[in-house]
Amino acid sequence: MILKLKLSKYSSVDDAIWVAQKAISAIKSDWEDATPLMKELDFKPKLLMFKSWIWAFATVSSRTLHIAWDEAGCLCPVGDLFNYAAPDDTSFEEDDIAGAERLTDGGYEDSNAYCLYARKNYKKGEQALLGYGTYTNLELLEYYGFLLSENPNEKTFIQLDVDICSIGTWPKDSLYIHPNGQPSFALLCALRLWATPANRRKAVSHQIYSGSMLSTENEMEIMKWLISKCEETLQQLPTTVEFDESLLVFLHKIQNSTNCRTDLKQSGFEQEFAVFLRFHRLDLDCSDNSQLPIQILRSLERWELAVQWRCKYKKTLRKCISNCESLVHELSLQLNKQ
């Protein structure tokens, strides 16, 4: 099942919560709109339930392959069995010129067949992976129910003032931080322009749009702004990286536990686990040290994914702070030498 409900309670990041709430609202709206037609077609009562609609929606959303003439896509034998590999500039063999022009590894072609392409030469017994397109981890969670530990297409967004977002021609979704903590080209250009006095922006815009640094002072100002913004964002979040990492260790352990009561008491996360059970309206008796019921295990998997996502988000902000501090230090040395 796709991860439509996982982020709404446990991600702690406003954008992620908004995405989850929007997805839930859209699914419910579609179900309500389709219910009269399903009744008219004499669907069985079980198939009219919202739970059944979620299953059907998840199947279409996560298992179908793209075709040009139907937005629902198509189900293709074998084609939906491949795990995902994120496409990037280096994921093709050097001699695969045609493949390098694709962002996905398959398509319905003139041969009236759905063709799938490998990005490299695989050895016998090696898992073959396919790229479905360029997705951030939040999008992978929303549509497919998983995320990548290393995703070259990941984007970390921070809250930006309206004047920064509207100062240039860059789309808002291009103003982000890369997984390595570096600001995107568009974000860096927008901040350079924003930090320039209004009466000088037109004169230096060509330099900024080319990606050039305007001055040491301008660069130091925007690096310090990024440091402050990332620190402010981290402080506003209810948990830290260290807390999330400890929680992930606990969640992994409790899902494989054969001694639930003991592991729970030793973890230090009894309060968080109690909140989790109340939120999902679940009841758990650990008095017999039994393994966890399957319903709870499935919910724990979703909780773990949400915590993984928010932990990666915070780590990227930390990397951005570290990178900016290093650059500020280097620029300060240059100024002192002048």
* Count of CB atoms situated within 10 Å of the CB of 55: 13
Question: Exposure pattern of 254-290 as b/e (b: 16+ CB <10 Å)?
Answer: bbebeebeebbeebebeebbeebeeebeeebebeeee
Q: Identify the DSSP state of 258.
A: S
As given in the structure block, the two tokens for residue 18 are 């908004």
Strand ranges in the chain using DSSP code E only, listed in sequence order:
65-67, 70-74, 83-84, 106-108, 114-116, 129-130
Q: Identify the DSSP state of 177.
A: B
Closest CA to 82 of 48, 128, 29: 128
So what's the pLDDT on residue 107?
Answer: 79
**145-304-104 Cα angle (round to 5):** 25
Closest CA to 2 of 160, 132, 179: 132
So what's the pLDDT on residue 8?
Answer: 43
Asked if 158 and 177 count as a contact pair (C-beta separation under 8 A), the reply is yes
So what's the pLDDT on residue 2?
Answer: 43
**What structural domains and CATH numbers belong to the chain?**
1-62 (no CATH), 64-92+103-146 (no CATH), 155-337 (3.90.1420)
Q: Identify the DSSP state of 94.
A: T
Q: What is the pLDDT along the chain (338 residues), one digit of tens a residue?
A: 444 444 444 445 777 888 888 888 999 999 999 999 999 999 999 999 999 998 898 888 888 888 888 888 888 888 878 888 887 655 444 444 444 444 567 777 776 788 888 888 889 999 988 887 889 999 998 888 889 999 999 999 998 988 898 888 889 999 999 999 999 999 999 999 999 999 999 999 899 999 889 999 999 999 999 999 999 999 999 899 999 999 999 998 888 877 777 777 778 888 888 888 888 776 666 555 566 778 888 888 989 999 999 999 999 999 999 999 999 999 998 888 76
* Count of CB atoms situated within 10 Å of the CB of 5: 18
